[in-house]
Amino acid sequence: MRKREYLQSVEGVDFKFYQTPKDFIVDEIISTKFKGKGNYLILHIQKYELTTWDMVAIFAEYMGVLAQKIGYAGLKDKHATTTQYISVDATYEKMLKKFYHKQIKILSATRHSHSIRMGDLTGNRFSINLHFVDNIDAGKIEKVARKIAKNGLPNYFGYQRFGRDADSINQAKEMIQGDLFIEDAKVKKFLVSIYQSTYFNDWLRERVNITLDNDETVFKLLEGDVYKSLDAKLSTPKIMPTKEFESKKLVPTGLLCGRDVFRARDEAGKIENRFDDEYLQDKGYRREALIYPKDIVCSYVKKQTLLNISFSLPKGSYATVFLESIAGKNFSAKDVKLKAKK
């Protein structure tokens, strides 16, 4: 897998961060305003060292229902303290008042008219501790973080997307080419997502390098780019929409290859074509090439040489990618998980 390249970074600053419950905190930002009445019970959950699926399975077993009966808006990391919302049938309200699990805490409960859906998630709020940071470097980190928030962060898929097995992309290619048979539907879906995500990351790396080759630090737009507006519509403007891009009304997008998806044209299309597979039968999508971290707050603890950085990102984006851009280096699961256990 090729290196993820970035537009802005801090020169000569090296910090550590670990995906542990103490150092990596994620709070779900949900768009739904709960009514306080209805046939569904909305639980605000805090969990530790559990995936969302693990947590859902625990509730399903406790209530004696199928896991599919429990609604959630997004998936959260295992190696972190995370809060998120789930929905269950309100008939279990009395039973859940007695619920106890050492890695799960019900923060609050309210009623609503329908279950939580994946589209209800708008983003996530992160609070991450950066270790071994002196006060001078803390200032540099905050400065570049705010610059990234202004100019945009390349919206790569993070290392978490590709699983622990570095050979997953080869398995995906073998499966798609018909040389490897996978029976499990979930595994097949996972491998297809890796295939699409790898192409997207390679395309985005190419576009970032084109920007850097032109001695620019703001993502370079090309004729034929496909843009996404705030109302989520896709378009290829006849004229380069520089003003709309600068005002963040439009953002360029990249291809997740597959069927039934709008593709770039002209100069942008020639580059995109190198990272496409038009024969892939799975549904294709377009993904924002850039995102804009918001509400950045930095707090430095001198005695601990620790900088806490808090920020919000839209759904589907990766906090670790933001940290990679700040550091100017790529991280892996080994870097942020195994060392934390020592």
**Does the annotation mark 54 as catalytic?**
no
pLDDT value of residue 165: 58
pLDDT value of residue 214: 92
Q: Which CATH architecture has domain 1-24+124-155+291-342?
A: 2-Layer Sandwich (3.30)
Is the CATH number of domain 33-115 3.40.50.300? no
Q: pTM for the full model?
A: 0.91
> Domain 159-288 has what CATH class?
alpha beta
177-206 pLDDT, tens digit each: 888 888 888 888 889 999 999 999 999 999
Which 3-state string (H, E, C) describes the chain? CCCCCCCCCCCCCCCECCCCCCCEEEEEEECCCCCCCCCEEEEEEEEECCCHHHHHHHHHHHHCCCHHHCEECCCCCCCCEEEEEEEEEHHHHHHHCCCCECCEEEEEEEEECCCCCHHHEEEEEEEEEEECCCHHHHHHHHHHHHHHHHHCEECCCCHHHHCCCCCHHHHHHHHHCCCCCCCCHHHHHHHHHHHHHHHHHHHHHHHHHHHHHCCCCCCCCCCCCCEEECCCCEECCCCCCHHHHHCCCEEEEEEECCECCCCCCHHHHHHHHCCCCCCCCCECEEEECEECCEEEEEEEEHHHCEEEEEEEEECCCCHHHHHHHHHCCCCCHHHHHHHHHC
pLDDT value of residue 256: 97
From the candidates 77, 120, 225, 276, give the one annotated as an active-site residue.
77
Question: pLDDT tens track of the chain, all 342 residues?
Answer: 689 999 999 988 889 999 899 999 999 999 888 999 999 999 999 999 999 999 999 999 999 999 999 999 988 888 899 999 999 999 999 999 999 999 999 999 999 999 998 878 999 999 999 999 999 999 999 999 999 999 999 999 998 888 765 678 888 888 998 888 888 888 888 899 999 999 999 999 999 999 999 999 999 999 999 999 977 788 888 889 999 999 999 999 999 999 999 999 999 999 999 999 988 999 999 999 999 999 999 999 999 999 999 999 999 999 999 999 999 999 888 888 644 444
pLDDT value of residue 267: 96
**Domain residue ranges of the chain, discontinuous segments joined by +:** 1-24+124-155+291-342, 33-115, 159-288
pLDDT value of residue 337: 66
